[in-house]
């Protein structure tokens, strides 16, 4: 009998891709998606009917301790991806980030204390490092919260590590750098550029284009997660998932222009700029630990790999059924 895997944040960008991969690999899946009156399952709605008909989907809230305790009784592995992720919105609603990102994580950790769950993978973010104090960034780099979002993710990571040390629980913290690909929201730079470019706007609206990021294609990130299954070496570890190559937003715009054959002019929208001390200027991963412990190797690495990932993302956005789900003319926090 295959192991039962519980995934929080399954309706989201990375979560939905993880669902596809784990289903393909033959695992028994139970998903938590946000409750809503429309009974929408987010990106799970877009998956193949064979997947949807053979997984268990529960609508609820990771902040609901009683629900979490009830629905995790029969699972073997937990991938925790549920989180509020928009940095600008964390400036105006920090309490909601504390509730979801910290209390939600705590609820799962409390369940873990009295269970036979064999692996709990917590999803971190490279934002916890802040602007690089040295580069490339390894897992020993100081943590520096430059936004309320980053502060809550640091707190969640440290909670997980404290429960590993205090209760000897099977916890791993996986820290993806800037994941991109199909289904990503407009709160991220790459889909913001692509959706505006494909509408052939005279200019696209962006924030700071000089910042540098280590962009990881979503299938590489997912393979990093799945490499934790059955791997006891990852227990108690924090592991970066990044390509080890970084590009500026300006360079990314140039590559998208080349791949779409569309001239892209940029209008800097001041509403999209972070406060000066909150801007993370440079993120470049050192991924030696992932290679050693997870035997993980990004397939979309270096400039050519990055451009291939961009190409696949652009092709996905060119499909009208996908692009119509995005409001590229609006900027939401």
The domains of the chain, with CATH numbers, are: 4-323 (3.40.50.720)
Check: CB of residue 57 under 8 Å from CB of residue 31: yes
Tokens of 291: 């290679």
Relative orientation angle of helices 104-113 and 148-167, to the nearest 10 degrees = 10
Q: Which of 27, 97, 129, 149 is catalytic?
A: 149
- Per-residue confidence (pLDDT) for residue 330, from 0 to 100: 80
Read off the pTM: 0.96
- Per-residue confidence (pLDDT) for residue 328, from 0 to 100: 83
pLDDT in tens, the chain (333 residues): 589 999 999 999 999 999 999 999 999 999 999 999 999 999 999 999 999 999 999 999 999 999 999 999 999 999 999 999 999 999 999 999 999 999 999 999 999 998 999 999 999 999 999 999 999 999 999 999 999 999 999 999 999 999 999 999 999 999 999 999 999 999 899 999 999 999 987 799 999 999 999 999 999 999 999 999 999 999 999 999 999 999 999 999 999 999 999 999 999 999 999 999 999 999 999 999 999 999 999 999 999 999 999 999 999 999 999 999 998 878 776
C-alpha distances out from residue 294 to 2, 102, 307, Å: 21, 26, 25
Check: CB of residue 190 under 8 Å from CB of residue 251: no
Tokens of 186: 């407009």
- Per-residue confidence (pLDDT) for residue 1, from 0 to 100: 59
CB pairs under 8 A, 24+ apart, for 288-292? 288/138, 289/138, 289/139, 289/237, 289/239, 289/240, 290/224, 290/239, 290/240, 290/241
Residue 333 makes CB contacts below 8 A (sequence gap 6+) with 86, 88, 89, 91, 92
C-alpha distances out from residue 114 to 69, 70, 298, Å: 10, 12, 36
149 noted as active-site residue: yes
Tokens of 177: 């750098």
Name the β-bridge partners of 238: 173
Q: What would the DSSP string read from start to end of 101-126?
A: IIIHHHHHHHHHHTS---EEEEE--G
Nearest-angstrom CA–CA distance, 275 and 304: 33
- Per-residue confidence (pLDDT) for residue 2, from 0 to 100: 83
Buried b (16+ CB within 10 A) or exposed e, 135-145: bbbebebeebb
């Amino acid at each position: 009998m295959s192991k039962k895997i519980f995934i929080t944040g399954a309706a989201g960008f990375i979560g939905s891709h993880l669902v596809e991969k784990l289903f393909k690999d033959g695992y028994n899946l139970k998903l938590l998606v946000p409750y809503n009156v429309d009974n929408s399952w987010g990106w799970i709605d877009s998956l193949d009917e064979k997947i949807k008909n053979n997984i268990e989907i529960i609508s609820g809230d990771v902040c609901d301790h009683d629900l979490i305790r009830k629905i995790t009784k029969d699972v073997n592995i937990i991938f925790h991806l549920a989180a509020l992720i928009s940095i600008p919105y964390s400036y105006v609603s920090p309490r909601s980030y504390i509730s979801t990102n910290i209390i939600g994580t705590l609820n799962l950790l409390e369940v873990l204390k009295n269970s036979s769950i064999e692996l709990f993978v917590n999803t971190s973010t490279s934002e916890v490092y802040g602007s690089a104090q040295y580069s490339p960034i390894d897992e020993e780099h100081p943590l520096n919260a430059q936004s309320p979002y980053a502060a809550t993710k640091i707190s969640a990571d440290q909670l997980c590590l404290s429960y590993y040390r205090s209760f000897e629980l099977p916890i791993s913290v996986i820290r993806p750098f800037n994941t991109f690909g199909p289904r990503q929201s407009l709160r991220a730079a790459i889909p913001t550029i692509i959706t505006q470019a494909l509408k052939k706007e005279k200019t696209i609206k962006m924030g700071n284009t000089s910042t540098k990021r280590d962009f990881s294609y979503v299938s590489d990130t997912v393979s990093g997660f799945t490499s934790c299954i059955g791997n006891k070496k990852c227990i108690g570890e924090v592991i970066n998932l990044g390509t080890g190559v970084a590009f500026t937003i300006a360079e990314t715009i140039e590559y998208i222009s080349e791949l779409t054959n569309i001239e892209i002019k940029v209008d800097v929208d001041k509403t999209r700029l972070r406060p000066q001390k909150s801007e993370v200027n440079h993120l470049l991963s050192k991924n030696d630990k992932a290679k050693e412990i997870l035997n993980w190797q990004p397939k979309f690495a270096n400039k050519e790999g990055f451009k291939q990932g961009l190409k696949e993302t652009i092709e996905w956005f060119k499909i009208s059924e996908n692009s119509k789900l995005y409001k590229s003319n609006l900027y939401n926090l």
